Structure 1
């Protein structure tokens, strides 16, 4: 995928779901993975010509794994003209050494989000951007069906009342396959995830399940995404936005 295509998909999401307002300062969560680096690339270029003026901050929450080198990400941020902050934590030690969690993902995510929110507020940001993409949307909905028995997915725009900050997801129209292509085309400095449970999660199982179903039922992903957009899941139905109603927060 070329930059022009990435910017087109990202801008469409921003416009469809009214993600950005004039004067926004947006904290981008940078894990070092392909998704967050692609989001960084997209928003750093869009801010130059998007009709609503906004600024961005790149933030990495380091979990405290040894030998994690974020200097390649720092260099990319310099090239893109984006301020970069690394938040040092001991999350890995707490989860794997002290608590010895057998299912650590939920607690880990909660702790990382907490650290990210605090730093975003310290830097004066009123919004945060997560790099959830098209496939993440479908997988989250399927996980909700399989493990919770309900038709649900995160929203494109979510107001976090406890932190008084708005969360946006600008990559919801970008397929993971395109992100992989963008990573290769632009030599993104992806940092390998050292987490010992990476690749062995419920999300990975769901990803493989959807891949199999889609190969047997061509166009399944598109139909699932359409079902989400036309559902009653808060924040997703674009017809509500056209009637000037804000997404449920």
Structure 2
């Protein structure tokens, strides 16, 4: 039942944003966390009945010193081609650059390495495991920390690499990935990042949980605003004048 619900929400997102085309070769960014593991299983199941036939592979970036052997076994069991890329991301971010706020640099390095690898392997799409809660948190972080109305897109074409990034789980709440991970016993790789659990995103996550408890439905309304372009109104000086 859990997988059916996940597939239903993923299928709607895929259709709403036209994420998958015939003969696509899709690389799943497999970090080994609950979200990327859930995404891999969703797309493997979706592949069986998708009206558009597509190829599926998995790419894991090793930031340095992580044992990803469970992911090798998982992909072998699922009959999914698996690629592990060794990187120096952890050393660059924490030892060389000594970043106080490492998330942005780390994300850029990981994104570049993943997209470059996918392109070299002949992929047309890269699938990321961002879910509904990630979208809400990103929207609030952009508003609070950057002073702008912004969020990642469910589908983005990258001109430089010539590939498209898709996020099939944007309609799926985080609690569902936690439930799937526990129910199906996914081989989660512990996040090796020294900053894990003490980031701005974690602060926003906790703030939203508090707001949602005192104002039930606030997260639902924020996500609704992301999908309501017709009601968007900001102070455009030229238009208002």
Fold-level similarity (TM above 0.5)? yes
The offset of 1:143, in angstroms, is 0.4
From 130, 133, 137, the counterpart of 2:131: 133
* Equivalent residue, structure 2, for 1:27: 27
What CA distance in whole angstroms lies between the structure 2 residues aligned with 1:188 and 1:148? 36
What CA distance in whole angstroms lies between the structure 2 residues aligned with 1:128 and 1:94? 24
What CA distance in whole angstroms lies between the structure 2 residues aligned with 1:44 and 1:80? 8
What CA distance in whole angstroms lies between the structure 2 residues aligned with 1:178 and 1:188? 13
What CA distance in whole angstroms lies between the structure 2 residues aligned with 1:227 and 1:5? 23
What CA distance in whole angstroms lies between the structure 1 residues aligned with 2:149 and 2:92? 33
* Equivalent residue, structure 2, for 1:223: 221
- Alignment CA distance shift 1:157-1:213 (3 Å): same
* Equivalent residue, structure 2, for 1:72: 70
From 116, 121, 124, the counterpart of 2:122: 124
* Equivalent residue, structure 2, for 1:239: none
TM-score (norm 2): 0.93
* Equivalent residue, structure 1, for 2:239: none
- Per mean C-alpha deviation after superposition, the further-off stretch among 13-22 and 224-233 is 224-233
* Equivalent residue, structure 2, for 1:242: none
What CA distance in whole angstroms lies between the structure 1 residues aligned with 2:188 and 2:51? 30
What CA distance in whole angstroms lies between the structure 2 residues aligned with 1:82 and 1:112? 21
Structure 1, unaligned runs of 5 or more: 234-249
What CA distance in whole angstroms lies between the structure 1 residues aligned with 2:228 and 2:191? 35
Deviations 1:171-217 (CA, angstroms, capped at 9, x unpaired): 00110011100000000000101111011111100000100000011
What CA distance in whole angstroms lies between the structure 1 residues aligned with 2:230 and 2:181? 34
1:17-166 correspondence to structure 2 within 5 Å: 17-64=17-64, 66=65, 68-166=66-164
Partner-residue secondary structure (3-state), 1:47 = helix
Deviations 1:104-153 (CA, angstroms, capped at 9, x unpaired): 11111111111111110111101111100010010000001101111111
The offset of 1:231, in angstroms, is 2.5
RMSD: 1.4
Partner-residue secondary structure (3-state), 2:157 = strand
The offset of 1:232, in angstroms, is 6.6
Which structure: greater helix fraction? 2
Number of residue equivalences: 232
Partner-residue secondary structure (3-state), 2:110 = helix
The offset of 1:54, in angstroms, is 0.7
Partner-residue secondary structure (3-state), 1:48 = helix
* Equivalent residue, structure 2, for 1:237: none
Which aligned runs of 4 or more in structure 1 are off by greater than 4 angstroms? Answer: none
Structure 2, unaligned runs of 5 or more: 232-241
